[in-house]
Chains A and B, each alone.
Chain A
Amino acid sequence: MSTHPVIPRRPPAPPEPPPVSLTIDGQQVDVPAGTTLLDACHRQQIDTPTLCYSDVLEPAAACRVCVVEVEGSRTLVPSCARKVEDGMVVQTNSERVRHSRRMVLELLGSSVDMSYASSEIIDWTQRYEADPDRYGEAARTVEQPAKIDNALYMRDYSRCITCYKCVDACGEQAQNTFAITVAGRGFEAGVSTEYDVALGDSACVFCGNCIAVCPTGAIMFSSEHQLREEGLWDEDVQEVTRTVCSFCGVGCNLELHVQDNRIVKVTSPQDHEVTSGHLCIKGRFGYDYVQNLPDPMTTPIDDVLAAARASGRDGGPTR
């Protein structure tokens, strides 16, 4: 008697809900139900600034730079979090929208060191004519000493915009480690371990997923930080090589960022179905063995630094 296992038939896919029809900047748009306004804007090629948004995390809707005007709504709405509704009339470039986006960029620019922020953030600052300097030199900032308490990464909360991404990636949205939290309240709210203990004394497993999602360089590879400090970080000469992590059989894809023939940081593509951009400590930091260095624990960065200096390169002002 044969005992073939019964292979359950795949249940039929639920019927697609009818598309939702809305108007964005005067154009009628049909998008699938459940789409966010931000996705709908992207489908229309409308460049929409985002800071706390990430493709791989739930929207925190905290920075408010992606707000749009929805007819009938008393306040602007965050496009990252709001789902489309039939008949919505949306403005993405009204005076109110431009004002709020400009002010959010100004408020952050006047309180946080944004000099390592991505180039698109700098572009938005110009596009919305944000002028962080108009709040004066006495404007309060989040400036504070950088925390360097381990060999793998450094935390400089002078650069932190409190976007919640690192906390969410450390917690239940990716790593489930819960080493960091937002502590305090108001302007003093900031990312912290319990009782501000060093990362090594916290639950941190050094996966580096917080680094991967940080938009402003508030958490950074020590290697990148050292190169930036010396003015030698140079993305223009870096090569990025995609490969598969060799530590286990999961199949995480790695992107090795190589400067002067040395790996200076490791990322994973956000659209990779295995990792969604997240890695573990081995994939993220266990790369020295491929570089054949005499003392892999201590020298790789010295090596890069020496090579960079020897090349006479001046990375110029770091950004």
Chain B
Amino acid sequence: MDLTFSDAEPTAAERAVIDGLLGAPDSVWTGAEQRSEQDLRVARTGRSRERRDELLPAFDAVQSAIGWISEGALMHICRQLGVPPAEAYGVATFYELLSVTEQPPRVLHVCDDVGCRGFGGTELIAGVEEHFGPEGAVVQTSDGESATWHRSPCIGQCDRAPACYAQLAGTDDAVLVETGTDEAVAVLTGSSPGGAPDVLPPQVEGMRLLRRVGVVDPTDLDAYRDAGGYAALRRAVELGPDRVIEEVKASGLRGRGGAAFPAHVKWSAVAAHAEGPRYLICNADESEPGTFKDRTIMEGDPFALIEAMTIAGFAVGAEQGYIYIRGEYPIATARLRGAMQAARTAGMLGEDVLGEGFSFDIDLRRGQGAYICGEETALMNSIEGYRGEPRSKPPFPTDVGLFGRPTVVNNVETLVNVLPILEEGGAAFARIGTDDSTGTRLFCLSGAVDTPGVYEVESGMILRDLISLAGGEPAQVSAVLLGGAAGAFVGPGDLDLPLTFEDARSAGLGLGSGVVMVFGPSADLGDATTRIARFFRDESCGQCVPCRVGTVRVEEALGRFLAAGPRANGAGTRERRLIEELDLVMKDASICGLGHTAGTAIRSALDLGLLGKSEVPA
């Protein structure tokens, strides 16, 4: 490969950041300023692309330190890593949190998604707009800096709406919860660093996954061990890899990311590959609107995830794990980095874990603002330094995954369930919940309930009781968004649904990532569905036609439907039929789950008559 670079040079600050991460270039061919004697004799051509996966971390470093990625910075990264500049540009422009045009060092992302907009978000945006003008406007602040703001999709703080995420170049990013306009203004003008307090999840009898959250110091490995930590890993080592997988099989554990796939099947498939390397990925890119459970675990009990991943790596024979965490989770990111470092120092991560002769380490990668990267194959492309576009399946990741190798991908909640499975045995675990939905589940209660938060309850609790548990009034429910934007609305008549995989499936629903967003009698569901349509239009990766164009057409048709009113001269019927046709092609012909589910919530709202009763199309 003969790469061509432009003459654009990085600034000294950009160069320092990039070289600080990637190491100083040792040749003009990789971007060194001085030609070495060796360079006069040897041209480094045919560069290996081994370092391609450092592309996203390099962009992250520059974006975080400088506030945007200039052409000079991009060229310097590309020289260092041997990546064609056009490809790198294609990657940078894929992500919402990366900017390839100059932007102010302070950028406030104000959530206007379904979990915030009806619950204080609209008022917050009006307040911010009054102070700073329309979104995207650059404002000079009194301390000589500049700032801007944007509307944002869900940032996973729905229990503390309205929320914001502040990208602050050169200093730590911040999360703002239950945000007043004054606080948003203070962060944008530099007079407050922002920050969200730790949270104690609602205490429910029988909590297992959340029992340490808000109780045990998440930064202290000894405190974690005193609270029972690392007993599961020791038990795993006693059992050996095969029997660990047996226990997971006996537990009946299903994935908690949305697809509800039996965990042991993936583990066995990867372990069965004769040759390594094999990889383990923890999908912590929790981006489904209304979801905040994985964040709660990672912020409140980070060692639990590290331990669970170590067990999974041991069981499937992976020596390298990755945590792919969404970029809008700075607190969880810092806690996990701290926990990984402490575990490494204590010999519980790295070479020869616990002196037991096996190696396992974890690399943490930050997502940069792309919902699609929660799709497992898109996530793998993102780690590898490519655009976060899903891959065609088959082949499945258990055969051809990260870097083309067998890979287990589990989400955070799925993985931490491995701890109780080993502590008490798979059979005992399977006695909790129902036959097909074992164990407890984390549900993200938000919206019109008195005490929003993450609730850990036994699988099988009915929806009505869960809403009551969170201080909601079932009689006042007009609709519940179940499973997030990729899920579906259910109406007041569906509140007796038992919250299990099998009951949801037979009702044509999914529990998804455990979202239970409650809408009261005054909720504007036309507004909520419009936002969901915009969400998918924004978040489609753009690779396949049904999703890239279909999500745009759904948004347009829904707008016409709501504007016309369902009874107006058959217009409502026409638009509704169009939405159904679009939903069908997206479900049938899209590459990945984003397209498959992009129309379901809107269709369910139409079917339930939540947007006005219309005639059922012929």
Chain A interface residues (CB < 8 Å from chain B): 61-65, 67, 75-76, 78, 81, 96, 99-100, 103-104, 107-108, 110-111, 134-136, 138-140, 161-162, 171-172, 176-189, 192-195, 197, 201-203
Contacts and interface: CB of A to CB of B under 8 A. Distances in A.
A186 B585 contact: no
A140 B100 CA distance: 25
Contact of B2 (A75, A176, A187, A188): A176
A187 B548 contact: yes
A315 to B, nearest CB: 30
A161 B86 contact: no
Contacts of A171: 84, 87
A184 B100 contact: no
Interface stretch (B129-137, B196-204, B311-319, B538-546): B538-546
B87 A100 contact: no
Given A178-B87, A184-B93, A103 B537 contact: no
A96 B3 contact: no
A140 B552 contact: yes
B151 to A, nearest CB: 16
A100 B71 CA distance: 41
A100 B3 contact: no
Given A62-B543, A108-B545, A178 B84 contact: yes
B345 interface: no
Contacts of B590: 64, 75
Interface string B572-597: 00000010011011011111000010
Most chain A beta-carbon neighbours within 10 Å: one of B392, B542, B545: B545
B86 A75 contact: no
Contacts of B90: 181-183, 192
A278 B552 CA distance: 36
A20 B74 CA distance: 49
A179 B4 CA distance: 8
B95 to A, nearest CB: 8
Contact of B542 (A78, A138, A188): A188
A194 B556 contact: no
Contacts of A139: 553, 556
Interface of B: 1-4, 6, 71, 74, 84-90, 93-94, 100, 370, 387, 392, 537-546, 548-553, 556, 560, 578, 581-582, 584-585, 587-591, 596
B392 A78 contact: yes
A183 B543 CA distance: 11
A108 B541 contact: no
B588 A100 contact: yes
B545 A161 contact: yes
Contact of B588 (A99, A135, A188, A202): A99
Given A185-B370, A186-B541, A103 B546 contact: yes
B86 A192 contact: yes
Tell me what chain A mostly uses at the interface: helix, strand, loop, or mixed.
loop
A96 B90 CA distance: 34
21 contacts: A67-B588, A75-B589, A96-B584, A99-B581, A103-B581, A110-B549, A111-B549, A136-B560, A171-B84, A178-B3, A181-B87, A183-B94, A185-B541, A185-B542, A186-B540, A189-B541, A193-B86, A194-B6, A194-B86, A203-B4, A203-B85
Contact of A195 (B3, B71, B538, B589): B71
Contacts of B387: 182
B545 A64 contact: yes
A40 to B, nearest CB: 17
Nearest to B8: A195
B553 A107 contact: yes
Contacts of B1: 172, 176, 178
A63 B90 CA distance: 19
Contacts of B582: 103
B599 to A, nearest CB: 12
Contact of A194 (B88, B370, B537, B587): B88
B585 A100 contact: yes
Contacts of B549: 107-108, 110-111, 187
Nearest to B94: A185
B596 A75 contact: yes
A100 B542 contact: no
A189 to B, nearest CB: 3
Report, nearest first, the 6 A-B pairs whose CB atoms are least far apart: A189-B542, A178-B84, A181-B90, A203-B4, A103-B585, A107-B549
Given A76-B589, A193-B86, A186 B545 contact: no
B589 A203 contact: no
Contacts of A99: 581, 584-585, 588
Given A61-B591, A186-B540, A195-B74, 5 more contacts: A64-B589, A100-B546, A100-B589, A108-B549, A139-B553
Contact of B86 (A78, A110, A179, A188): A179
A310 to B, nearest CB: 43
Contact of A162 (B392, B542, B591): B542
B545 A107 contact: yes
Given A64-B590, A99-B588, A182-B90, A203 B84 contact: yes
B552 A187 contact: yes
A178 B91 CA distance: 13
Nearest to A138: B556
Contacts of B4: 177, 179, 202-203
A15 B75 CA distance: 49
Contact of A186 (B84, B392, B537, B589): B537
B307 to A, nearest CB: 35
Nearest to B543: A62
A176 B3 CA distance: 9
Most chain B beta-carbon neighbours within 10 Å: one of A108, A135, A187, A201: A187
Most chain A beta-carbon neighbours within 10 Å: one of B1, B4, B560, B581: B4
B100 A195 contact: yes
A102 to B, nearest CB: 8
Contacts of A103: 546, 550, 581-582, 584-585, 589
Most chain A beta-carbon neighbours within 10 Å: one of B541, B584, B585, B591: B585
A192 B90 CA distance: 8
Contacts of A192: 86, 89-90, 93
B576 to A, nearest CB: 14
B86 A202 contact: yes
A104 B86 contact: no
Contacts of B589: 64, 67, 75-76, 100, 103-104
